[in-house]
Every structure is written in C-alpha cells, then in structure tokens.
Amino acid sequence: MTSFVEVTHDGHVGTLTINRPDKLNALSQEVLSDLSSAIEALAANDGVWAAVLTGTGKAFVAGADIAAMKDMTEGEGLEFGALGHRVFAAIENLRCPVIAAVNGFALGGGCELALACDFIYASSKAKFGQPEVNLGIIPGFGGTQRLPRRVGSAAARELIYTGKMINAAEALRLGLANAVFEPDDLLAAAMKTAAEIASKGPLAVAAAKRLIRDGVDLPLPEANRLEQAAFGEAFGTEDQREGMGAFLEKRAPAFKGA
C-alpha cells in the first residue's frame, strides 16, 4: 500500500510531503496515520536537525476529509479529533523545528496542521481559513487553541466565527505566515531556512524549541527558571565546546549533536 506521506532527506534536513492530490491532500484517518508514522520515523532519526512539511499539487491540505466525516457518530468524531490532536502534538514535540511550506489551500485541518509547525512560509497563492462553522462543527485539531496563540484572540475569533478564507498577504499581516514567496520559490526558500537551522548546534536549537513551547504560557519567573537550567546544561555538551572553540579559532563549527 502506498503511503500518503513521502519522506526524503537532504543532509540534516528532512522533508515530509503529503501526497493525496486527487483529494487536495485532505486529512483522512489513513493520511493522519501515515503522517503519524512519518513523524515517529523523524523523531527516531538523530541525524535530522530541521524539517519541512508541505503538500503536492495545488493544496497544502485543503482540510479534513468531509466525505469520511459526514456520517460519523459522536463517538467516532471524538476518536477522529483525538487522532488529529495526537499527530499534531507529535509535530510540536519533535526535537527538530518544522517549517510548514504552505503551497496552496490550508483550510480547516490544513490550517491547523500548519499551526502545529514552528512557523509558516506561504506561497503567494496560499489560502488559509478555519471554515468548520460552515459545516456545523468547530475546528477539531487544535484550531481554537493554536490560532489565538499565533495571531491573537480577536483575529482568531473573527476567522473562526465567520469561517472566512484569507489570502497569503493577509496571513502575513496577521502574523500567521512568517514570509510569502512566489509559488516556484517557496520550497527552495523553506529548504534554505531549514538548512540554515540545521547548520547550528542541534542540541541548542532543540532546547530553544522546547523552551519556547513549554514556557510561552507560564508565568515569566517560572519560564525564566526553565531557561536558566537549560542554559547551564548546554555547557555540559560537546557542541558548546565546539561552537565556542570554532568562534575563537575563526572557523566554521562541526556540530555533532552531542
């Protein structure tokens, strides 16, 4: 059986491509299961220090599979939502940063998938939205929680309550997207940034990701204590000695992730 998620590697950069273009990469139970397996493989690979997530065709992910959801019972809906939450949390919990390269439609579950990544690069043709209220449901894969944290409560309320779709320029204005590129330049730009991240100390980047994720909703003194502990721990690594030694010797560091 062919997987709906293709995984490739280029040096220390991994790429995950959702490949269900005939359904605009819609998130069925099978697609989510394949994505879960791909993320598990990425987590187990210590040689991947940054990753890019994208889709094939004219969509990043157009949403969850409505045809598959139409006749779900309340219990089945609960299970499907739980699966999406587990998979998207696994992306957030990856050691390495993940860049969403949103090449087209990122609606509903697709927008939520992009939000689970560390940040978003968008094609100028990208479209974002949480249109679930048009279907009589709500965002079910974290949209009501991650979108306000990304763009602010008022903007998230407007997008979720109206179900409207916005273009890449508006996503950039709101802070949903970090940058917008022409369609042919998007993946190369995301890969270039991923490669730049992967050239840094991987343990340091992983610690920074963990601290931002875990500390953002904590009281500042408590969050700062987490940073203080992680800062001290960095001085027990080979990467710290290599990075500082390379700086003083005016050469490029050769990090090992140890």
CATH number of the domain that 237 lies in?
1.10.12.10
- Looking at the fold, whether 141 and 157 belong to one and the same domain comes out as yes
CATH number of the domain residue 132 falls in? 3.90.226.10
pTM, to two decimals: 0.95
- Looking at the fold, whether 143 and 182 belong to one and the same domain comes out as yes
Which residue type is seen at 196? E
Q: Give the residue numbers spanning the domain of 221.
A: 202-249
- Looking at the fold, whether 148 and 245 belong to one and the same domain comes out as no
**Number of domains the chain is built from:** 2
Q: Are 100 and 132 in contact (CB under 8 A)?
A: no
pLDDT at 64: 85
pLDDT at 182: 98
Q: Are 125 and 177 in contact (CB under 8 A)?
A: no
pLDDT at 2: 67
Residues identified as active-site: 112, 132
* 62-78 burial code (b ≥16 CB/10 A, e <16): bbbbeebbeeeeeeeee
pLDDT at 65: 86
Residues whose CB falls within 8 Å of the CB of residue 220, separated by 6 or more in sequence, listed in order: none
Domain membership flag for residue 52: yes
Q: Which residue positions in the chain have pLDDT lower than 50? A: none
- Looking at the fold, whether 141 and 210 belong to one and the same domain comes out as no
Q: How many residues does the chain have?
A: 258
Domain membership flag for residue 254: no
pLDDT at 1: 52
